[in-house]
Amino acid sequence: MAPYTVLQLLDSSAHSAAAVELIAALRLPAGSKVILAAAEIESPKPGHAPLLAEQRRARDILEQRGLRVTCPVLPGDGAGRWRSVAEALQPDLVAIGANQLRTKGGRPWREIAHQIIEPLQWSVLVARAPFRGLKRILLAVDGSAASRAAVEFLAAFAHRARAELRVLHAVVPEPMAALTVPGWPVGARLVPPGPSLAGIAEWDRRQKAAREQKAQAIVAEAVGLLKAAGLRARGRVDYGDAAEVILRYARTQKIDLTVAGARGLGPVRGRLLGSVSRRLIQQARGSVLVVR
């Protein structure tokens, strides 16, 4: 397995420290390297002592896992610098603490997040403290290419963490298709039924059964691939808004890490980052990995 390159935007927060511990828990392939890029340091100064101490602590943790670690001093400031660094390094994974998603005023989607997460040229790990190990990992799947990439990522690395995997697919409820027509630009609208309401209901029942069968097949395929890689995995199909279903399951089941593909996972797809993936990053209580 080829070595990985991880770029972590390091600060002195608990969330950033959780990202370091999570990277160490993944147990990346031999020869993998981590670049610990300290936030807000253009050149070391006395006031940067806490951050430099955190950088040294992070280096010790990662090197104990056999990872190669570099701690460069980078020129420039702000999100533009991080994007330039990421473009130069072409990492396999960018890791940040969840605190980087908010400004001091509390507004979501800080400039760093917009510059790095939103274009999503790389897989992104957003870590939240406290880190309690990787006992349970939730994989959200929908059968898309991005979803399959997430399955492959876990098949390659999750067995190293010895975690239990839960595979979840959310089926978004739809109105009875036979009773709706397009209503651009405001969406579908209901129309009166034809002469055989019973026939329409039977048709709709078959459509729902077909969606259920497809959903079960998506979950079964992902679980099968993970078990073939020697992982403990079990699947579930649930119904409702995709983001709400995933967030609720992760909260109630005490999931340590939620993994999803960059796009898909719902009928509305953002130009750059899928709408569901964005909500997971912003609203999940635990850590989130969005796989490119």
Collapsing DSSP to helix, strand or coil, 287 comes out as: strand
CA–CA distance, 48 with 260 (Å, rounded to integer): 35
Collapsing DSSP to helix, strand or coil, 270 comes out as: coil
Q: How confident is the model at residue 271 (pLDDT cuts 50, 70, 90)?
A: very low
CA–CA distance, 183 with 132 (Å, rounded to integer): 49
Q: How many residues does the chain have?
A: 292
Look-up of token digits 């993994």: 259
| pLDDT, tens digit, 9 for 90 and up, residues 151-187 | 998 888 766 667 889 999 999 876 554 455 455 455 5
What pLDDT sits at residue 126?
A: 93
CB within 8 A of 235, min separation 6: which ones?
A: 166, 167, 168, 169, 219, 220, 222, 223
Q: 256: closest CA among 278, 284, 225?
A: 284
What pLDDT sits at residue 268?
A: 41
Residue 196 has pLDDT above 70, yes or no: no
Residue 270 has pLDDT above 50, yes or no: no
More confident residue, 206 or 200: 206
The amino acid that residue 19 corresponds to is A
Say whether pTM exceeds 0.85: no
| pLDDT, tens digit, 9 for 90 and up, residues 28-49 | 888 999 999 876 545 555 556 7
| pLDDT, tens digit, 9 for 90 and up, residues 221-249 | 999 999 998 888 999 999 999 999 999 99
Domains and CATH numbers, the chain: 1-131 (3.40.50.620), 132-292 (3.40.50.620)
Q: 287: closest CA among 6, 12, 20?
A: 20
CB within 8 A of 217, min separation 6: which ones?
A: none
> Per-residue pLDDT averaged across 73-82, rounded?
61
CA–CA distance, 32 with 292 (Å, rounded to integer): 18
Residue 197 has pLDDT above 80, yes or no: no
- Beta bridge partners, 181, equal 189
What pLDDT sits at residue 93?
A: 92
Is residue 78 left, alpha or beta, with left meaning phi > 0 and alpha meaning psi from -120 to 50? left
Burial class (CB in 10 A: 0-12, 13-18, 19+), 176: middle
Average pLDDT, the chain: 80
What pLDDT sits at residue 84?
A: 75
CA–CA distance, 6 with 61 (Å, rounded to integer): 15
CB within 8 A of 97, min separation 6: which ones?
A: 9, 11, 13, 14, 15, 16, 17, 18, 19, 126, 127, 128, 129
Burial class (CB in 10 A: 0-12, 13-18, 19+), 93: buried
Task: Tell me 246's DSSP state.
Answer: H
State both tokens at 35.
């670049």
